[in-house]
Amino acid sequence: MAAELVKAFFIGLIQGITEWLPVSSTGHMLLFDRAFRLSLGERELVLFLTLIQLFSALAVVILGFRDIFPFLVRGSGKKGVRAGLLLWAKIAVGSLPLAVIGLIFNDAIDALVTGEAATFVIAGALIFYGIGFIAAELARAKKADRVTSFDRIGFGDALLIGCFQSLAIIPGTSRSGATILGARLLGISRPAAATFSFYLSVPAMVGAGGLKIARYLSVGEGAPDSQSIIIMVLGCAVSFGVSMLAVEFLRGFVKKHSFIPFGIYRIVLGTVVLAVGLFS
């Protein structure tokens, strides 16, 4: 049991860090799973991974409460209501591409994740978008940002950023990585790109998580045993706490630094994942 709790702790840690940093949680999970498999049944494992993602999303909702629910902040008045509705509308528009693409290609993407080619797809996406980050930052190095605040992002930009987010259905891409890259190419500042990326990710994570939980419940095979529940609670708690720290870290980091270090890291990780696939 102790060994399983240690594994659950590290899975929560990996999820909390890599969900929000543009480095791909899938690639890290793949490497960890190859080395240390968690002894949960397939059904319970899917539920566990779903729940830790939802707790990651909860961290963003809490940190961004004033932006997401400004009308609940004392003294916000009509301006708060308008600001909140505008943000929700932009997030809804930005979520449309992923919803459409996900419905059309969901089965094909699931085959990529579970098939023999999964490792190579993940490695390729890690390296490709790593190069993309470096290229985008170099291209924008001497150009002024067109949008410097997330609340100034227009509906057209939100839709285009959402199109980039839909690319994240390919494992190894990184949801935050795709949206941030898209935003940077559109001339949106790093802090604004990161913040909008966080908020745009929440509906996608909640929607996908809700569907998986509904499927879990529809099977009707009973609740997880007490050991599985303890493992899940620990992983969710770690994922939530680490997500809070990771989001705040990235917000602070991008005020003074570019995304080039993340691009380099992705290329290195992709190379490692590729090596694991070739020699395992």
pTM: 0.89
Residues 173-206: pLDDT tens digits? 888 999 999 999 999 999 999 999 999 999 989 9
Which residue(s) pair with 188 in the sheet? 147
Domain assignment of residue 138, given as a range: 2-279
Sign, CA torsion 280/177/255/92: negative
Is pLDDT above 70 for 221? Answer: no
pLDDT, position 30: 75
**DSSP assignments along 90-111, one per residue:** HHHHHHHHHHHHHHHHHHHHHH
pLDDT interval class at 226 (50, 70, 90): confident
Is pLDDT above 70 for 113? Answer: no
The total domain count for the chain is: 1
C-alpha span between 270 and 267 (Å, rounded):
5
